[in-house]
Structure 1
Amino acid sequence: MPSAVRFGANYTPGQGWFHHWLDFDLDAVRADLDAIAALGLDHIRVFPVWPYFQPNRTLIRPRAVEQLVALADAAAERGLDVNVDGIQGHLSSFDFLPAWTQTWHRRNLFTDPEVIEGQAAYLRTLAAALADRPNFIGMTLGNEVNQFAAGPHPDPDRITSGQAEAWLRRLLGACEEGAPGRPHVHAEYDASWYQDDQPFTPAHAARLGAMTAVHSWVFNGTAQAHGRTGVATEHHAAYLVELSKAWADDPRRPVWLQEVGAPAPLIPAEHAAAFTEATVVNALDCADLWGVTWWCSHDVDRSLADFPELEYSLGLLTSGGAVKPAGSVVARLAGEWRGRVHAPAPRTTALVVDVGDEVGAPRRSVCAPGGSVFEAFARLVADGVRPAVVLAGRVEDESYLASRGIGEVVFPEAVS
């Protein structure tokens, strides 16, 4: 893993959003990538839309795969590395599932053997197509697919945590078969860390795959309770990075801040740059941070209908490619950190988290906004402490604590 932190963007095409795959225009893609590269970023995260690429269980469209490779090659020409999310899945409030998993063909996305084999073939095909590209980082299984496995999704495919783990292992294995040796990962939205009945758990996130990926969104109750400049709001991404370390078996496991953005109106347009700077700077104070990948590169064009209002303004760039204030902040920080060794001082004080069984985490809501661990972490930060987080079952493990540089542990109830 690199010693310098990576800076990138989740690539949202300026023309047509992710529907651009239906009318793929490589010149338009090149123009988008020119604007991203001009910010000084070094990578993008790319989203093939699952039903566009695999409309039938046994048909993975060769032309779509060729277009994905062409996009990756165009990125390479501009000095951009590429991570590819396979199963989309879910994007910006819209679900994209192929017809062979729905209605008359309804099958559980995570447990049906034929669906799993279809998904494995799809991910393996995408990975193999890019395996020889030097700028290919690796695969992410999909975008926040855990939302399909529990509420509040209106029609979830319910599974156990054991079934979730089996699904993750099978599909990570398919990515490895397609592109051996690449750092393949999986990524869930924060219900994995905060929701007691979510079958995708913190242990899955922090122990499976090459890195831990976290997605930080402050519209989850954080900004509503703490305000746009609240300590908890400006440190939410850093909190998730540190929280994830509590479950990691490897004390030096890399953590990728894979999604983070400034959602209006909780973060108003005039405050987006300040929020962006605070969020990124605070995350950079976390050790073993692999990279920061902002959501997203380009605004959604307002000619497209039915998006939640916040989705139209999350870009570092306008849909036409003009740099926004948040984009200027990310560009400046990327420039300041380019080639710089990332080695924050150890966090010597650790907040104890007790979620019951550490694998199933049946009481993980204590980590959510309003929960005892979450609020204690924010109070410690406000008092000038740089807290780590440690599982209750490891409090007496002196060698483990020493491996993380922890010299003191504090329980949430002791933080006032």
Structure 2
Amino acid sequence: MRFGVNYTPTRGWFHHWLDFDPDDIRADLDSIAALGLDHIRVFPLWPLFQPNRTLIRPRAVEQLVALVDAAGERGLDVSVDGLQGHLSSFDFVPSWTTTWHRRNLFTDPDVTEAQAEYLAALAGALADRPHFLGMTVGNEINQFSGAPHPDPDRIGPGQAEGWLRRMLDACEEAAPGRAHLHASYDAAWYDGSHPFTPAHSARLGAMTAVHSWVFNGTAQRHGPAGAATEHHAAYLVELSKAWAADPDRPVWLQEVGAPAPHIAPGQAAAFTRATLVNALDCPGVWGVTWWCSHDVDRALADFPELEYGLGLLTNDRRVKPAGEEVARFVREHPGTAAPEPRRTALVLDAGDEEEAPLRAVCEPGGPYFEAWMRLAAGGARPAAVLAQRADDPGHLAARGITEVLTIDQVV
């Protein structure tokens, strides 16, 4: 079991690449390592690393390698996100894809060729570093493909799959054998019109990444300490397994945090522990990476209010209650015994298995979501199984499922 954090630099947030300071980074990494964590996820800003379609800045790549080396010196492995993409409500896309040079991020041949070269350059520069875990194609880059983005790059599911395969192949060719994957925000699981699908998340790349944010209607509907709020991360982990072709495919809880005011500061520690306990009761979890390491400096303007206080540590590197809870949990967690299989599965009908046009039943307030959470609140340990596989004894046996329930039976 791996425990880590998404690294948000204390000085300048992700704009720190413009004023790269190894001493500040080392101090940040020391404060992360002191929590007992074993890995970080880092975010090069795409426009700063590739400001022109045919220019990948060597100095920027060297700075990324230096950060990874500094983390390794502190016993921290590093996963690198490539196409940033989108972070904390801000979009970071290079000028050669916008306005006068407006081109589709997923289908324009010049853009996709440049993206593949960029990902390969980062992966290749880190391929010989023992503390390099692998590449994530980008942080929730699926949000560029449809509403509610104000200027979406429209594509269909087939185009999304083709783009993902090309980007993942570029990473694998440059750094063979590392854990290369992609990550989507939860429209992939909850929006039947979204071109990035559950099947993409659960079948492409080395493992499945899920991002759990309870401000998506869960906390508003069920409250900060409601069973659904405290089980949301576990729900996404189990939901992803319904689409996985490999019953043993690992799932990475790659982002999860305690956003105020949905989770008040005084409730953050309790929410953190409950989320960790419930998520790690799911078989097959590779690890948990909390969002985020340090609070955003309030000298920086225009972030949504909830973004400023998500850190496990303050902007001056003091440990917050949620950080103390994570550190305590890491000390106490044995990291060896795997959870027992989840024997009871709730049948999910999301329509066609590949495109899941009915996946809105899975969103907060949807009939599947609410039935699954009713089981969890009652003390059950529900799994999820697609309707197409609910009568497949081989599939059920491979996952350890011995009882199958329908929504009607639960309600």
Uncovered stretches (5+) of structure 1, i.e. residues with no partner: none
2:383 aligned with 1:405? no
Whole-angstrom distance in 1 between the partners of 2:214 and 2:409: 26
- Deviation of the 1:386 alpha carbon: 0.4
Give the 5 Å matches for 1:5-404: 5-337=1-333, 340-404=335-399
SS class of match (2:346): strand
In 2, distance between residues paired with 1:196 and 1:80?
38
Distance 2:68 2:310 in 1: 23
Deviation digits for residues 349-383 of structure 1 (CA, Å, limit 9, x no counterpart): 00010011010000000000011110001100111
**Is contact 1:372–1:413 with CA below 8 Å preserved after alignment?**
no
For 2:399 and 2:333, the matched residues in 1 are separated by 24
Q: Give the TM-score normalised by the residue count of structure 1.
A: 0.98
Q: Report the RMSD for the aligned CA atoms in angstroms.
A: 0.6
Return the TM-score normalized by structure 2: 0.99
Query: Moved runs in structure 1, 4+ residues, more than 6 A?
Result: none
- How far 1:336 sits from its partner (Å)? 1.7
Quote the Cα distance in structure 2 between the aligned partners of 1:257 and 1:36: 18
Amino acid at match of 2:152: P
Return the offset for 1:412: 1.1
**One-letter amino acid matched to 2:361:** V
How big is each residue's C-alpha offset from its partner over 1:199-245, in whole Å with a ceiling of 9 and x where there is no partner? 00000000000000000000000000000000000000000000000
- Distance, in Å, in 2 between the alignment partners of 1:414 and 1:111 is 44
**Partner SS, residue 87 of structure 1:** coil
Residue 346 of structure 1 aligns to a residue in which SS? coil
SS at match of 1:64: helix
Q: CA deviation at 1:186?
A: 0.2
Point out where structure 2 has 5 or more consecutive residues left out of the alignment.
Answer: none
Indicate the percent of aligned positions where both proteins have the same amino acid. Answer: 73
- Number of residues paired by the alignment? 411
Per the alignment, in what secondary structure is the counterpart of residue 108 of structure 1?
A: coil
In the TM superposition, what is the alpha-carbon distance from 1:22 to its structure 2 partner? 0.2
Report the Cα offset of residue 85 of structure 1.
Answer: 0.1
**Conserved? CA contact 1:14–1:320, under 8 Å:** yes
SS of residue matched to 1:142 = coil
Aligned partners of 1:187 and 1:214 also within 8 Å: yes
Contact map agreement 1:257 1:292 (CA 8 A) in 2: yes
Counterpart CA distance in 2 for 1:74 and 1:385 is 44
Deviation readout 1:120-170 (Å, 9 max, x if unpaired): 000000000000000000000000001000101111001000000000000
- The answer as to whether partners of 1:245 and 1:389 remain within 8 angstroms in 2 is yes
CA distance in structure 2 between the aligned counterparts of 1:133 and 1:288, rounded to whole angstroms: 26
Paired with 1:413 and 1:16, the residues of 2 have a C-alpha distance of: 52
> Counterparts of 1:109 and 1:217 in 2: how far apart (Å)?
25
Taking the aligned partners of 1:130 and 1:384, their CA distance within structure 2 comes to: 45
Output the CA distance in 2 between the equivalents of 1:9 and 1:16: 18
**Alpha-carbon displacement from aligned partner over 1:365-410 (angstroms, at most 9, x marks no partner):** 0000011110001100111110000000001100110111101111
